Amino acid sequence: MGGEKHDQEYMKKVNKQMVLQIIKSKGPISRADIARITSMSPTSISRIVGELTELDLVQETEFYSEGVGRKGMLVNVCPESVTSIGIYINRDIVQLGLVDFCGKVVVMNTIPIEPDHHSIDEMLEKIVTGILVLKENPNYKKIIGIGVGMPGIINLEEGKVIFSAQLGWKNIELKRLIGEKTGMKVIIDNTEKLRVLAENLYGASRHSNKSALLSVGSGVGSAVVIDDEVLRGVKNSAGEIGHTTVDPEGMLCECGRRGCLQTYIAESALLKEANKVCRINSIDEIFGAAENNENWATNLLERAAKYIAIAINNIACMYNPDTIILSGRLIEHHPLIVNLIEQKMSYIWEPYEDTFKLVYSELKDEGVLIGAATLALNTYFELN
Amino acid sequence: MGGEKHDQEYMKKVNKQMVLQIIKSKGPISRADIARITSMSPTSISRIVGELTELDLVQETEFYSEGVGRKGMLVNVCPESVTSIGIYINRDIVQLGLVDFCGKVVVMNTIPIEPDHHSIDEMLEKIVTGILVLKENPNYKKIIGIGVGMPGIINLEEGKVIFSAQLGWKNIELKRLIGEKTGMKVIIDNTEKLRVLAENLYGASRHSNKSALLSVGSGVGSAVVIDDEVLRGVKNSAGEIGHTTVDPEGMLCECGRRGCLQTYIAESALLKEANKVCRINSIDEIFGAAENNENWATNLLERAAKYIAIAINNIACMYNPDTIILSGRLIEHHPLIVNLIEQKMSYIWEPYEDTFKLVYSELKDEGVLIGAATLALNTYFELN
């Protein structure tokens, strides 16, 4: 059906990316082995490795290939030669880091945000200062661009925050604002899409081709990556599971409708419910109360676990992934909720029980930042 | 990231498919115009058109191109030169048809299935007889293969029915069974995936790149097509929205869990509910009662419309399509339910209200059959 015309230039680029990918995943590796894996000619491989070496992306190592034939020096990536800046904006912290092109965070700074100080002006000042600090790090010269992850509906092409309930932002041209103040290329995306991208490349689902992620923290979201492509939808907002209805007569949601998934599992929702019973200031206090066998806390967390299991079922039914990653602060910081969720697997429709592996975020708090930096790198680092 | 090596052969095939696609959508068209649209050389276009002519797929017309330059005869498709057989299996009918390569049904037969006569043996005999009748039609000589659509979880590669609640089939090697008895190539897929494929190519969403379909009839299902690719998931069962939980304390479903979407909207569920009040034999009777303002019927349909609206919201949130197609017998045969659904749009989360067009199936009852035949054609008709 239709399709683009595959010309020489395009093939060259694809081949170069493939060779780099192989060196990343299998290096140190000989040119001969790369030729064997790719079915390309040794001459082409030598040319491409030469080009990648000139870009400082790969280098020859001290190792030589074994086996018969002429001995060749093995090549490997130089991951830190090229970096990008990843930024994770949330309502209570901003994380900024330099990430190398193998997904490793080489420098990271965290800026706390005080309650009710998350207006765009206050946040932007802190973000820009943080970027300038990273830019001046003498160890990393080649910084390709900036990737920003934040909760909400983000127009990826325009770099515009359409709507973020958690930050209270609406129609903010964040790409332009950061770009103007730093002179760097900027790309913005939604937190869950970046988390799943990072887990898919470097974390819990790196052996999967079709993985979905459910994140539960101050907000609730999901995202899917299929054959290395994030499922975006027409407005980059596929995966907004927090506002799927799981009980039409349920609790009122901030969106004005009833029984949205997030009203049962988002941290803010749990805090509101808990405060109907006693004065509670943090999620940790709820878990503490549950560990002391206080009934209200156990009930609240049991219900949260049930609705998380329902969300897992609905994700399995809708996307049929081979892996479902649970992530987000509520899950990553509280082993108790993990136990409770695993006791609720009867909420999964039977034919799907064995279709996916349930795994937990490996990158945890750093996932958004790594995903954001990687997206910037993939977008702005053109292998020409 | 990774990617396949695009070699000459592959490019040739892509180009040939592209030229055929252009002639299909824009014919009658001159070779010069095809060259202009594709940016390919006139020589290449003449060669490809020649090859397509030899395959009987295109022909020269009586028309000549206008404008300056050498006059050339316009070419167009000969849609009926190549056909495939489409089959739609349901618990109460089997439809069989010959479909040309522009998606037109040129012959169609419907076989009614009596209640409780849908065992695989009884059905297979009827299906094979139906296929042989079509095969012997003297007007259509070049029949490429058979596509079968049926409700349930289907292993596409193996052509195996893993599980169909509606037909009561489990682990049936349908592809092998039909193939052995007819000597033809057979491909099997799930009804909703075929419906959305057909609507995307020839029906209600042909101008969309990201469309989702919700089907409500004897069962409930959904499917998504993104840039001409059906979203399949790892076991070809993405889209099983009928078993997403929309109320954990809701009605008991045949799957053993509570509050699955289908318990509120599937025809069988509506009939069961209706029969709690009075003796009702068909969905038509429920709609008749609602038109006579019988309270129980109005309530039942109002509730169904509400849950269909919730399903639309959940589809929008999860897939973020630009088009949502409503299809299936309950919707296609009953204008009243359409009115009721459109009154429930407050169940859609506000940020999504304007992100999709709500449309209705254009191919209706023929959608599965056309989708199945088209899948067979795309799969077995290799343009070498």
> Concatenated DSSP letters for A232-249?
--TTS-TT-GGGSBS-TT
- The C-alpha torsion from A58 through A59 and A60 to A65, rounded to 10°, is -20
Mean pLDDT, range B57-72, rounded to an integer? 74
Q: Cβ distance B284 to B273 under 8 Å?
A: no
Rounded Cα distance between B310 and B313, Å, is 5
Mean pLDDT, range A71-82, rounded to an integer? 85
Q: How far is B252 from chain A (nearest CA, A)?
A: 13
Q: Cβ distance B252 to B263 under 8 Å?
A: yes
Percent of chain A with pLDDT over 70: 96
Tell which wins on pLDDT, B373 or A381. B373
Rounded Cα distance between A348 and A316, Å, is 8
Rounded Cα distance between A252 and B19, Å, is 54
Q: How far is A336 from chain B (nearest CA, A)?
A: 22
Q: Please indicate whether, in this complex, the C-beta atoms of B248 and A351 are within 8 angstroms of each other.
A: no
Q: How far is A247 from chain B (nearest CA, A)?
A: 5
Mean pLDDT, range B314-319, rounded to an integer? 98
- The C-alpha torsion from A194 through A197 and A203 to A204, rounded to 10°, is 100
pLDDT at B186 over 90: yes
Over residues A183-220, the pLDDT tens digits come to: 999 999 999 999 999 999 999 999 999 999 999 998 99
- The C-alpha torsion from A376 through A377 and A381 to A382, rounded to 10°, is -80
Neighbours of B298 (CB within 10 A): 17
Rounded Cα distance between B35 and B44, Å, is 8
ipTM of predicted assembly, 2 dp: 0.90
Which among A15, A222, A349 has the least Cβ separation from residue B255? A349
Tell me the DSSP string of B175-194.
HHHHHHHH-S-EEEEEHHHH
Rounded Cα distance between B346 and A257, Å, is 8
Q: Please indicate whether, in this complex, the C-beta atoms of A246 and B248 are within 8 angstroms of each other.
A: yes
Q: Please indicate whether, in this complex, the C-beta atoms of B6 and A10 are within 8 angstroms of each other.
A: yes
Closest CA to B377 of B15, B8, B20: B20
Beta pairing class for A220-226 and A210-216: antiparallel
pLDDT attached to residue A383: 60
pLDDT attached to residue A6: 52
Kindly list the residues from chain A whose CB atom is less than 8 angstroms away from the CB atom of residue B346: 257
pLDDT attached to residue B68: 58
Q: Give the CA distances from residue B103 to residues A186, B23, B55, in Å, rounded to whole numbers and listed in that order.
A: 45, 15, 18
Neighbours of A254 (CB within 10 A): 13
Rounded Cα distance between A78 and A58, Å, is 5
Kindly list the residues from chain B whose CB atom is less than 8 angstroms away from the CB atom of residue A310: 245, 248
Which among A255, A351, A356 has the least Cβ separation from residue B350? A255
Q: Which of B244, B251, B347, B348 to mutate to test the interface with A (most CBs of A within 10 A)?
A: B244
Mean pLDDT, range B268-285, rounded to an integer? 96
Q: Locate tokens 């349908």: which residue? A: B174
Q: Please give the mean pLDDT across all residues of chain A.
A: 92
Rounded Cα distance between B266 and B1, Å, is 43
pLDDT attached to residue A70: 58
Q: Please indicate whether, in this complex, the C-beta atoms of B248 and A306 are within 8 angstroms of each other.
A: yes
Rounded Cα distance between A39 and B270, Å, is 59
Tell me the DSSP string of B282-320.
-HHHHHHHHHTT-HHHHHHHHHHHHHHHHHHHHHHHHH-
pLDDT at A288 over 60: yes
Q: Cβ distance B314 to B346 under 8 Å?
A: no
Mean pLDDT, range A63-80, rounded to an integer? 76
pLDDT at B4 over 70: no
Tell me the DSSP string of B57-119.
SEEEEEEE--SSSS--EEEEE-GGGSEEEEEEE-SSEEEEEEEETTS-EEEEEEEE--TT---
Mean pLDDT, range A30-48, rounded to an integer? 90
Q: Please give the mean pLDDT across all residues of chain B.
A: 92
pLDDT at A367 over 80: yes
Over residues A150-189, the pLDDT tens digits come to: 999 999 999 999 999 889 999 999 999 999 999 999 999 9
pLDDT attached to residue A332: 95
pLDDT attached to residue A322: 98
pLDDT attached to residue A224: 98
pLDDT at A112 over 60: yes
First-to-last alpha carbon distance for chain A, in angstroms, is 28
What residues are paired with A358 via a beta bridge? Answer: A324
Q: For residue B104, with 0-12 CB atoms within 10 Å meaning exposed, 13-18 middle and 19 or more buried, which class applies? A: middle
**Which range (A116-130, A334-348, B51-65, B345-359) has the least confidence?**
B51-65
Kindly list the residues from chain B whose CB atom is less than 8 angstroms away from the CB atom of residue A378: 1
Which pLDDT band holds residue A1 (cuts at 50, 70, 90)? Answer: very low
At CB < 8 A and 24+ separation, what contacts does B342-348 make?
A: B343/B305, B344/B305, B344/B306, B344/B308, B344/B309, B345/B309, B346/A257, B347/A245, B347/A248, B347/A257, B347/B306, B347/B309, B347/B310, B347/B312, B347/B313, B348/B309, B348/B312, B348/B313, B348/B316
Question: Strand, helix or coil at A83?
Answer: strand
B329 residue type, one letter: R
Interface size between A and B, measured as CB pairs under 8 A: 185
Which among A2, A237, A244 has the least Cβ separation from residue B314? A244
**Which range (A289-293, A305-309, B114-118, B190-194) has the least confidence?**
B114-118
Kindly list the residues from chain A whose CB atom is less than 8 angstroms away from the CB atom of residue B5: 11, 14-15, 18, 38-40
pLDDT at A131 over 50: yes
Mean pLDDT, range A361-380, rounded to an integer? 94
Q: Please indicate whether, in this complex, the C-beta atoms of B240 and A349 are within 8 angstroms of each other.
A: yes
Mean pLDDT, range B362-371, rounded to an integer? 96
pLDDT attached to residue B383: 60
pLDDT attached to residue A21: 87
The H or E element that residue A175 is part of is: helix A174-182
Mean pLDDT, range A365-377, rounded to an integer? 95
pLDDT attached to residue B362: 97
Over residues B106-148, the pLDDT tens digits come to: 999 999 999 888 899 999 999 999 999 999 988 888 899 999 9
What's the maximum distance between 2 C-alpha atoms anywhere in chain A? 76
Q: Cβ distance A32 to A42 under 8 Å?
A: yes
Q: How far is B81 from chain A (nearest CA, A)?
A: 19
Mean pLDDT, range B321-333, rounded to an integer? 97
Q: Which of A36, A162, A349 to mutate to test the interface with B (most CBs of B within 10 A)?
A: A349
